[in-house]
Structure 1
Amino acid sequence: MRIAAGFGDEHAQIRVYVAKRPPMQEYAYLPAMQPLLQGEIALINQACGNGWRKLFNVYAKLLFALPASFGFLQQASSWQVYRDSFLLQASSNTALLFSPPPLNSTSNTIHIIAGRTYAKALLEQGLPLQLNWLNAEFAIDNHNRVLVCPYFDYRQLNNEKIGYLVKLIAQL
């Protein structure tokens, strides 16, 4: 099994995969999962710009749109508070990864690949997915519990599309 490299909880149920890590020296080499500390998202946003701010915001908004049974709504009063106080920290049940999904069909992990282009690149690299494209932007592999959605940016994954992604997550 591949070692997951990224930010967050190594036992996370909700895992988002992106092609690139923040262009900061301290994250140039991540041999494994690294939980973020409170305030670290704000530091990444400040150092890396608007694109990373949007990614973290969309991730937090997605979690807050999930049904209460996922437990994210009970941890904070808003998605903003959740982002700043819990997202990608130890025991947060969330992860942002910069490596391909380690597939295990017996796990309850939900893998979300952010971006159709990244998903297609992973397929070309040999990731054994059986994606069923639901439309031009969303795909699902029920067996491996993998979803492909637009990149985590307000323009690409707006509130309406977040709602659609929530429905797909609930199907898994």
Structure 2
Amino acid sequence: MMDTGLGDINAQFKVYIANRPNFADFQDTQKVTPLGGGELDAIGKACGNGWRKVFNVYAKVLFALNCERLVSVHKAATWQEFRDKYLLQAASNTSLLFTRPELSNDDIHIVMGKTYAKSLGLSLEWINDDFAIAPKAKLIVCPYFDYRQLSNIKIVTLVELIRQQSGNHNKTTKHL
């Protein structure tokens, strides 16, 4: 099965979401489409605050992760600048996918939302009510990318789980 979504077609940092933006350019796409400058903002304006939150939280997670080996954030001074200039663009190593995770590689896989994760029928180890892992697959289930569901404190937990899954334990978390 081929991935469908937004971002870098060769991304190693993959986030999976159950829905897709109701945006004409992406409704029928059957591939991973890199975004250009300003397209995140256009999707947010056209599709609502929920999508702005998804993009904001995605950028905050990567900025806090601060792991150049996975995703380079050093060119951006803030998570907002990273979101606007690099997130989900070609060669960003980031993607937001609307398809079921393909777990046959060494990529990092983040599944947004417990309900979506359970619908996928994955074999998971639940760490607590919010987070689960499939260690052999480098897959993490976390709350939906929304400020209330994935607060800054939960972002720190997610960052630690990503580091454990990627074998990168000793990096410094950037402050949000």
TM-score (norm. length: structure 1): 0.92
5+ residue gaps, structure 1, are: 124-128
Match of 1:126?
none
Match of 1:48?
47
Are residues 102 and 71 of structure 1, via their aligned partners in 2, closer, same or farther at CA, if it must alter by over 3 Å? closer
CA distance in 2, matches of 1:23, 1:130: 31
Shift of 1:75: 2.2
Match of 1:97?
97
CA distance in 2, matches of 1:43, 1:4: 23
Match of 2:72?
72
Corresponding position: 1:115 with 2:108: no
Are residues 15 and 71 of structure 1, via their aligned partners in 2, closer, same or farther at CA, if it must alter by over 3 Å? closer
Aligned length in residues: 164
CA distance in 1, matches of 2:73, 2:102: 27
Match of 1:82?
82
TM-score (norm. length: structure 2): 0.90
Shift of 1:71: 4.4
Shift of 1:27: 1.2
Q: Can you list the C-alpha shifts for 1:117-144, whole angstroms capped at 9, x where unaligned?
A: 0001111xxxxx3200001110000111
Spell out structure 1 runs of 4+ moving beyond 4 A.
Answer: none
Match of 1:151?
144
Q: Can you list the C-alpha shifts for 1:31-74, whole angstroms capped at 9, x where unaligned?
A: 11100111000000100110000000000000001134444331
Conserved? CA contact 1:115–1:148, under 8 Å: yes
CA distance in 2, matches of 1:53, 1:31: 23
Shift of 1:11: 1.3
Match of 2:124 among 124, 131, 147: 131
5+ residue gaps, structure 2, are: 166-176
Corresponding position: 1:160 with 2:159: no
Q: Can you list the C-alpha shifts for 1:75-99, whole angstroms capped at 9, x where unaligned?
A: 2111100100000000001000000
